[in-house]
Structure 1
Amino acid sequence: MKKIGITLLTAFFGGAVAIGGYKLIENNNTEKMSIEDKQKVYFTNNPVSVSSAGDVDFVQAAAAVTPAVVHIQTTYGGSSRQQRGGGGVDPFEDMFRDFFGGPRGNTQRAPAMASGSGVIVSDDGYIVTNNHVVEDASKIEVILPDNRSFQAKVIGRDPNTDLALLKVNATKLPVVKLGNSDNVQVGEWVLAVGYPLTLNTTVTAGIVSAKGRAIGILGQPEQEDYYGNRNQPRVNSAIESFIQTDAAINRGNSGGALVNTRGELVGINAAIASQTGYYAGYGFAIPVNLAKKIMDDFIKYGAVRRGFVGVTFQELNSSIAKELGVSEISGLYVNTVVEGSGAAAAGIKKGDVITKVDGARIMSSSDLQERVARLRPGDKVQLSFNRDGKERTVSVTLKGEDDVKIAGNNNSSAEELYNQLGASFAPVSTAQKQRYKINSGVVVTEARDGGLFSNFGIEKGTIITSINNKPINKVDDIDNALSASSNNMIRINGISADGSRIMMSFPVAQ
């Protein structure tokens, strides 16, 4: 009996110390605490109990989450935004209109308001949302479900992940508990919570349809339609590893919560795939484990600190593997290795096939990118790769962007790059400009075997509207645009022969 009493007293004392420690931290240093530490303090004092994943009953999960999912209204000056998509006023619609297949415009408009959603992640006023919800806004208003309203300031924005962190001057706010997106399983029930189509708080239910989806909508200047080959090399810093769900998501849901049936946040709703711009069964959310890192970077450093492996690569499948002459049909084929990078120091070479990251099998580029995106310069990651039929594993120390030098950067002249394209061009006609609603472009009149255009599927009849983000109005513009190539990569925007938009990036020889 005496031993039992001592055990109970020890347990009680340990709990009191833990709570007291959290209280001390809360009182003395909350501003620099990570979001997860803030949540530990909050949920130590405010425990929640919701139904398990085994019960198809979302009442408790919805009740736990909805008080902390907010409506975000943004105001834009007439000169700071352009009207696109036929007058839509929602940033979700504005950013992804072309992805949905809608028309485009380019006319100035008077000061306008737009609408999105956000999730309170700490009781002292931190709110996570999408970058595209608040980008370029001159005023941001956050409205809680209980009708309280606050002006918000932007702590940080990251276009590469489409995440933003806001702060309102308030305390004792309701909070959504952070979950673990690594534990999300295809087929499990999830809820989407937000403010779609100008409606108030709305909860929809569905399942997780897929994980690690890359849909090609981040990191491009115009966010044009994505119809390109997903097996092209990934070259920009955009991180796409979306959780796909069939829970109903519409315009206005951007920045809202994707939660599991335990009421835990597993994703930030960001996009839909639709031909009409409305729900068609395909929604995409940013994994919360990635969002945690981005939010903490904003709080601690004021900006995202991103580590780089130091390679360019392309995804493998059976046809690409055959073209490259490699036996692996999955993984990432290394096209180039950056001089001075962690990959170079670890001995990774061009032609290696990266197969695992931290022991997890790589099936697509997003498997590597999303995991690395959670790390910072100086962190280490274990990469396994195949070379000459043998698998090797190395530890790669990530480096910051400023610490690496692109091998052979800008060594190729514009003339050399032009020849590598292996194509001939002619000016686009006035009729074609009117038909496709474009202001620039040249037509590919020939794509020769062995050239980059032929190798990457850019066919005769394709209209090239820009190269390296520079508009192409005539053939002479191509040399100037090619001179702007960086990291030994060329970026092509255009319209294929069947009228669909294309965006491609591919490496050039050094």
Structure 2
Amino acid sequence: MSTPSSNPSSLDAISDRIANLCDGIAPRLVVVHGPRRRSSTGIIWRPGLVLTAEEALEADEDILITRPDGNQVAASLVGRDPSTDIALLRTEEQPIANVPLADTSGLRAGHLVLAAGRQSEGLCAALGIVALAGGPWRSLRGGHIDRRIHLDVKLDTRSEGGVALDANGQILGMTVLGPRGRVLVIPSETLERVAQQLLTHGRIARGYLGLGLQSVRIDRTIADAAGLAEPKGLIVISVDPNGPGQRAGIKQGDILIRWDTDPLHSVRRVYTLLGPESVGRSITLGMLRGGEQISCTIVIAERPKPQE
């Protein structure tokens, strides 16, 4: 009878394969340090450019990177997009081979995935499976994510911003922590698209109405007269004096009930509709003013940059 040491099992081969995948991605993973010493992982996207999880990035300044060789260098923020949880940093260039990001269209529930990150102590990894592989979706902040990918794996918070690798060692996307600790993958297609826009413009354009909104219930009789299936709308609680809502004649106290022909029931729905593609579009908002139905045309503007 052969002993395990003289006849390596298939598990040994799998174990070595996983370790080799970690070794292969190691030169592309860095530690991202914030000013309060919280750390996360970053992915060298291109020489001198690092992708990381936006939510894990503590601040826009005083960012340090620990490179794979252990040297620590400063990094500056190129741009961050909370709606897709992607941030792009600039740091010292290092020669690195181009590793193409994998197409996730063939990813299915049950596929093995290796989540790899880097901590101050060294490389870290977790092996799991794809728990859900769905189609495009919108984040709670209105960002367009090309695929909904959930992993059945436990992720250390310091590994957030690391990579999800397929069985061939290709990068499927960036691992982030979602609601209730669920591990999500921001897919490669989204990373490429958003990172390029951040590199070019420093930010992702978002639509802007210049209105503060809050959900409100509407009198059933008025809702029936307006043809609303649900007696809900969005009351205008504030109006930016320089915003598109003000220019369109919208007033505080108006209740928005339709976006073009679609009913409006939640503020979240408005965030979803105000994606990058909405900027410059002209829409018709149906409203209630003093119980009467009116409508106005509004041209969606680009959300102003936050004040320094």
State the TM-score, normalized to the length of structure 2: 0.62
Read off the aligned partner of 1:60 and give its amino acid letter.
N
Equivalent of 1:202, from 113, 118, 124? 124
With over 3 angstroms needed to count, the CA separation of the structure-2 counterparts of 1:132 and 1:59, relative to structure 1, is: same
Equivalent of 1:114, from 38, 41, 48? 38
User: What corresponds to 1:300 in structure 2?
Assistant: 200
User: What corresponds to 2:52 in structure 1?
Assistant: 129
Provide the C-alpha distance between the structure 1 equivalents of 2:167 and 2:193, rounded to a whole number of angstroms. Answer: 23
> What pairs up with 1:375-414 in 2 under 5 angstroms?
399-401=277-279, 403-408=280-285, 411-413=287-289
1:200, CA displacement in angstroms? 2.7
Provide the C-alpha distance between the structure 2 equivalents of 1:165 and 1:247, rounded to a whole number of angstroms. Answer: 25
Equivalent of 1:59, from 15, 19, 23? 19
Read off the aligned partner of 1:159 and give its amino acid letter.
P
Tell whether the 8 Å contact from 1:267 to 1:287 is kept in structure 2 after alignment.
yes
> What pairs up with 1:227-376 in 2 under 5 angstroms?
237-239=142-144, 241-272=147-178, 274=180, 282-305=182-205, 336-338=258-260, 350=262
Report the secondary structure of 2:38's partner residue. Answer: strand
Equivalent of 2:33, from 66, 73, 97? 73
Provide the C-alpha distance between the structure 2 equivalents of 1:154 and 1:172, rounded to a whole number of angstroms. Answer: 20
Q: Aligned pairs, how many?
A: 225
Tell whether the 8 Å contact from 1:177 to 1:265 is kept in structure 2 after alignment.
yes
1:222-277 CA distances to partner (integer Å, 9 max, x unpaired)?
xxxxxxxxxxxxxxx23455411123312112211111121111111111554xx6
Structure 1 stretches of 4+ with a deviation exceeding 6 A read 213-217
User: What corresponds to 1:142 in structure 2?
Assistant: 65
> What pairs up with 1:15-94 in 2 under 5 angstroms?
57-75=17-35
Report the secondary structure of 1:296's partner residue. Answer: helix
Which structure carries more helix by proportion? 1
Report the secondary structure of 1:66's partner residue. Answer: helix
Report the secondary structure of 1:180's partner residue. Answer: coil
Identity %: 21
Provide the C-alpha distance between the structure 2 equivalents of 1:217 and 1:305, rounded to a whole number of angstroms. Answer: 15
Report the secondary structure of 1:181's partner residue. Answer: coil
Tell whether the 8 Å contact from 2:32 to 2:39 is kept in structure 1 after alignment.
yes
With over 3 angstroms needed to count, the CA separation of the structure-2 counterparts of 1:141 and 1:175, relative to structure 1, is: farther
Provide the C-alpha distance between the structure 2 equivalents of 1:137 and 1:155, rounded to a whole number of angstroms. Answer: 9
Provide the C-alpha distance between the structure 1 equivalents of 2:89 and 2:60, rounded to a whole number of angstroms. Answer: 12
Q: Which of these two proteins has the greater Rg computed from alpha carbons? A: 1
1:173, CA displacement in angstroms? 3.4
1:62, CA displacement in angstroms? 1.7
With over 3 angstroms needed to count, the CA separation of the structure-2 counterparts of 1:262 and 1:151, relative to structure 1, is: same
Provide the C-alpha distance between the structure 2 equivalents of 1:176 and 1:252, rounded to a whole number of angstroms. Answer: 23
Tell whether the 8 Å contact from 1:119 to 1:176 is kept in structure 2 after alignment.
no
State the TM-score, normalized to the length of structure 1: 0.39
Provide the C-alpha distance between the structure 2 equivalents of 1:263 and 1:181, rounded to a whole number of angstroms. Answer: 13
With over 3 angstroms needed to count, the CA separation of the structure-2 counterparts of 1:174 and 1:140, relative to structure 1, is: farther
Provide the C-alpha distance between the structure 1 equivalents of 2:81 and 2:75, rounded to a whole number of angstroms. Answer: 17
Tell whether the 8 Å contact from 2:34 to 2:58 is kept in structure 1 after alignment.
no
Provide the C-alpha distance between the structure 2 equivalents of 1:138 and 1:416, rounded to a whole number of angstroms. Answer: 50
Report the secondary structure of 2:156's partner residue. Answer: coil
**RMSD of aligned alpha carbons:** 3.7
Report the secondary structure of 2:194's partner residue. Answer: helix
Equivalent of 1:166, from 86, 89, 98? 89
Read off the aligned partner of 2:32 and give its amino acid letter.
I
With over 3 angstroms needed to count, the CA separation of the structure-2 counterparts of 1:173 and 1:336, relative to structure 1, is: same
Provide the C-alpha distance between the structure 2 equivalents of 1:408 and 1:152, rounded to a whole number of angstroms. Answer: 44
Provide the C-alpha distance between the structure 2 equivalents of 1:304 and 1:189, rounded to a whole number of angstroms. Answer: 32
- Please state if 1:154 is matched with 2:56: no
Provide the C-alpha distance between the structure 2 equivalents of 1:126 and 1:175, rounded to a whole number of angstroms. Answer: 12
Provide the C-alpha distance between the structure 1 equivalents of 2:32 and 2:262, rounded to a whole number of angstroms. Answer: 46
With over 3 angstroms needed to count, the CA separation of the structure-2 counterparts of 1:213 and 1:254, relative to structure 1, is: farther
Provide the C-alpha distance between the structure 1 equivalents of 2:154 and 2:99, rounded to a whole number of angstroms. Answer: 20
Unaligned runs of 5+ in 2: 1-13, 208-227, 230-256, 264-268, 293-299, 301-308
Report the secondary structure of 2:175's partner residue. Answer: strand
With over 3 angstroms needed to count, the CA separation of the structure-2 counterparts of 1:216 and 1:135, relative to structure 1, is: farther
Report the secondary structure of 1:178's partner residue. Answer: coil
User: What corresponds to 1:310 in structure 2?
Assistant: none
1:159, CA displacement in angstroms? 0.8
Unaligned runs of 5+ in 1: 1-54, 76-111, 220-236, 308-322, 325-334, 339-348, 352-364, 377-398, 418-486, 488-510
User: What corresponds to 2:115 in structure 1?
Assistant: 192
Which structure carries more strand by proportion? 2
Report the secondary structure of 2:191's partner residue. Answer: helix
Report the secondary structure of 1:203's partner residue. Answer: strand
With over 3 angstroms needed to count, the CA separation of the structure-2 counterparts of 1:265 and 1:58, relative to structure 1, is: same
1:150, CA displacement in angstroms? 1.8
Question: Taking CA–CA contacts closer than 8 Å with sequence separation of 6 or more, which of the two structures ends up with the larger relative contact order?
Answer: 2
Provide the C-alpha distance between the structure 2 equivalents of 1:203 and 1:134, rounded to a whole number of angstroms. Answer: 21
1:170, CA displacement in angstroms? 1.5
1:191, CA displacement in angstroms? 0.7
With over 3 angstroms needed to count, the CA separation of the structure-2 counterparts of 1:174 and 1:167, relative to structure 1, is: farther
